[in-house]
Amino acid sequence: MSQGVNTSEIAQMEAPAESVNPEHGLPESFGEGLTGRLLFWIAVSFSTFQIITSFGIPLDQPFIAGLSLTHLWGVAMVAWAAWLIGLAVRRRSIVDGAMAWLAVAGAFGLVLWFGGSMPSQVVRTIHVGFLCLVAGAMIANHRSGSSSLRAVGWIVGVASFLVGLYHWALYEELIVRAGELTTLDLVVGIAGIAILIYLIWRVMGPALPIVAGLFLSYCLFGHWLPAPLDHRGYSLEQVVEHMALGTEGIYGTPTLVSSTYIFLFILFGAFMEKAGVIDFFNDISMAVFGDKQGGPGKVCVASSALMGTVSGSGVANVVASGQFTIPLMKRFGFTSAFAGGVEATSSMGGQIMPPVMGAVAFIMAETIDVPYSKIVEAAIIPAILYFAACYLAVHLEAGKRNLRGLPKSELPNAWTELKTKWFLIAPLGVLVYLLFTGYTPLFAGAVGLSLTVALILGTAIATGLGTQALRIAFWVGLALVAAYSLASTVTLVVLVVAALSLWNAFSGRGRTTLQACVEAMADGARQALPVGLACAVVGIVIGTMTLTGLGTIVGTWMISIGKENIFAALVLTMIFSLILGMGIPTIPNYIITSSLAAPILLQLDVPLIVSHMFVFYFGIMADLTPPVALAAFAAAPMAKESGLKIGVQAVRIALPGFVIPYMAVYDPTLMLQPVPGLEGVGYWLAVVYIVLKATLAMTLWGTASIGYFLKPLSWWERLWATVAAALLVAAIPLTDEVGFVLSALFVGFHVWQTRRVATPAISR
């Protein structure tokens, strides 16, 4: 290649004209004019509320000389109001400032109503209320062709927020009169369900609302069905109370996880992006892999794996890194469909990439009541194998097309990047340390977020210092203060961030940085829409299971199949997950399928984590599988290619993702799960064996899929490799031995053929 790699130029040429989130089809903005700014500050208020409640710090608890955070907040708000009044007196516009003041005051006021520590059930209801308010306003600002339709969107959003406020204001009364609904309770409950389903329909399409509607219909009319599908019958009041006035339906476990772990880690990713971590990951990936065979494709795989440790959202990874990697791969010589397939496949792998996996991992940990670190432990080997398979596919396709690496002169230097920007991943390092030393994900996420904000604010301050010595002294001092704060209480961490914010408020560069942080908070609230809304509406499915016992009915049927043939039960689970995933995102797909299938797999002696990971994997694969493949269609505008063609390529590349779950079921050591009778050295030898076998099988499948190894493969060589790989995966006596023999013969024959063809060419 003779041209240098100009990432911004490539992104500008190839990126879609308008940035649209493929998960909900809404622009990545809040709209124009006053309503746009109002929605922006509502989103900031949402994030502020979530930060306060996620950190779990009682605002009214004294910590210094009898002072509490409530007192400090009150002083700050009074000073802020006085400053705004001063601006108004000088005839300066204070509209934006007043909205900001109201946003912060509203978020704190919601929590202070309960003395500074809000009950979990109320956090969930306000969380859903905020989600619906932001969603309704986004629809109003972006999809309304007239002022009347815009007003309807805002009214619907506000009405849903008022439903949340109803629970907030009458929390104790609702608990006391549980089981005895008033007419107003019933109206509010029905309104909450109806508005949620309507907004989900407008934001994410009809699939999920139809599923929720079917389950609600089953609750109300299932007693008319023939046995064994029938139930004893439930009144409208019973269904509404179960679904909308307790913690079993839309305010159930998925919403709990969304309002705590998921939102916090979405914010963490948004702030890490503002800090420049995504660019850092891209630069490191370019430096390490850019000069290799098929370099840009391998850069895509590596950067997506690294980004997965931050964002944990497959579609977010596609949008964020695909703007750069897809045009670069196309420019390098890969086809549009293959470039999009590589990006979609590697980005979806971010959801299984430790240490910060996708939102499903947090839901899984909460559902099966195991530490998050155990989920990460089970995912490590499969994640490495998944990305290794993506890397291999790129390597083989590049060899097939004779695409060599980029010149070293056009690439950044890895050592230089690490020396100058290592501090960007310091919060991520602290987060990983806390996760693996027994701290809860909520605490680890709160600390990681605080350190990231401190890093962004501290960088702005240090840049403004006059000499290198002052900058070093500042960073050392900040590090010591942060370490002391972490060792004592999270309250001090919050005060450190507040002090840094105050310092930045009095400098021009600092105010720009503060504005970037505020924008990150608003972005986090917007990015939480598809995840949070899906978690809320899928609670209807979970509520139906707990109310009617539908899971037991389905489970009995699947167990009857699995007792005869567990492979058939696994295939049925896979097919159900893939079909469900055609219209439903990974999170609700996992929740629904795991509610139905995972307990059955457990009864068929599949280990607990493995059974849930089996469902999780195919929820991810559903986003790559045509005809409806969300990740593939997200890559389509950047690749300028059909989403269907990209999906076909993604399936070819992601083939190991379909195989790994089956191998783990038959040999749980692949997910580092205990096996009866195996311990010590014997256990670790079994781990090494299954990893080597899986690696060999994936290599053979990759060569067969791409049609290239050391040279192009004939059709019968591809069939040979496929059969050898299938035998290695099959859990039947003697298949391993036959598979290893066929693999050795295939490799030996291919090497001999390659040398035989090359020898005459050399002699000539």
Provide the pLDDT for residue 125: 94
555: confidence class by pLDDT, cuts 50, 70, 90 = low
Provide the pLDDT for residue 651: 86
Provide the pLDDT for residue 2: 37
11: confidence class by pLDDT, cuts 50, 70, 90 = very low
155: confidence class by pLDDT, cuts 50, 70, 90 = very high
Provide the pLDDT for residue 198: 92
195: confidence class by pLDDT, cuts 50, 70, 90 = very high
Tens digit of each residue's pLDDT (9 = 90 or more) over 645-671? 888 888 888 877 788 888 888 889 999
Statement: residue 234 has pLDDT above 70: yes
Q: Is residue 152 part of a domain?
A: no
Tens digit of each residue's pLDDT (9 = 90 or more) over 741-756? 999 998 898 888 888 7
Provide the pLDDT for residue 161: 94
Mean per-residue pLDDT for 263-272? 83
Statement: residue 565 has pLDDT above 80: no
Q: Is residue 555 part of a domain?
A: no
Short-list 57, 58, 72, 73, CA closest to 105: 73
Q: Which domain holds residue 721?
A: 686-759
Cα atoms in the Cβ-side hemisphere of radius 13 Å centred on 705: 25
Statement: residue 254 has pLDDT above 50: yes
Q: Is residue 390 part of a domain?
A: yes
Tens digit of each residue's pLDDT (9 = 90 or more) over 84-125? 899 888 888 888 889 989 998 998 888 888 876 788 899 999
Give 627 or 541, the one with higher predicted confidence. Answer: 541
Contact 200, 169 (CB under 8 A): no
* Tokens at 542, concatenated: 């979970």
Contact 268, 301 (CB under 8 A): no
Q: Is residue 400 part of a domain?
A: yes
551: confidence class by pLDDT, cuts 50, 70, 90 = low
Q: Of 67-71, 212-216, 605-609, which range is least confident?
A: 67-71
List Cβ<8 Å contacts ≥24 apart for 449-453.
449/51, 449/264, 449/267, 449/268, 449/271, 450/490, 450/493, 450/494, 450/496, 450/497, 451/426, 451/427, 451/482, 451/493, 452/268, 452/271, 452/272, 452/275, 452/427, 453/271, 453/497, 453/500, 453/517
Statement: residue 6 has pLDDT above 60: no
Domain boundary among 445, 466, 488: 488
Q: Return d(Cα 225, Cα 214) in angstroms, integer.
A: 13
Provide the pLDDT for residue 490: 66
Provide the pLDDT for residue 62: 73
Q: Is residue 698 part of a domain?
A: yes
Domain boundary among 458, 488, 518: 488
Provide the pLDDT for residue 15: 43
Tens digit of each residue's pLDDT (9 = 90 or more) over 309-338? 666 566 667 776 777 788 888 888 888 889
Statement: residue 71 has pLDDT above 70: yes
Statement: residue 13 has pLDDT above 70: no
Q: Is residue 79 part of a domain?
A: no
Q: Is residue 375 part of a domain?
A: yes
293: confidence class by pLDDT, cuts 50, 70, 90 = confident
Q: Return d(Cα 515, Cα 521) in angstroms, integer.
A: 10
Domain boundary among 488, 507, 534: 488
**Total of domains in the chain:** 2
DSSP lists the bridge partners of residue 67 as: 64
Tens digit of each residue's pLDDT (9 = 90 or more) over 387-408? 888 889 888 988 888 888 777 7
Q: Return d(Cα 286, Cα 655) in angstroms, integer.
A: 26
Mean per-residue pLDDT for 53-76? 77
Q: Is residue 33 part of a domain?
A: no
Provide the pLDDT for residue 164: 92
Highest mean pLDDT among 327-341, 477-491, 566-580: 327-341
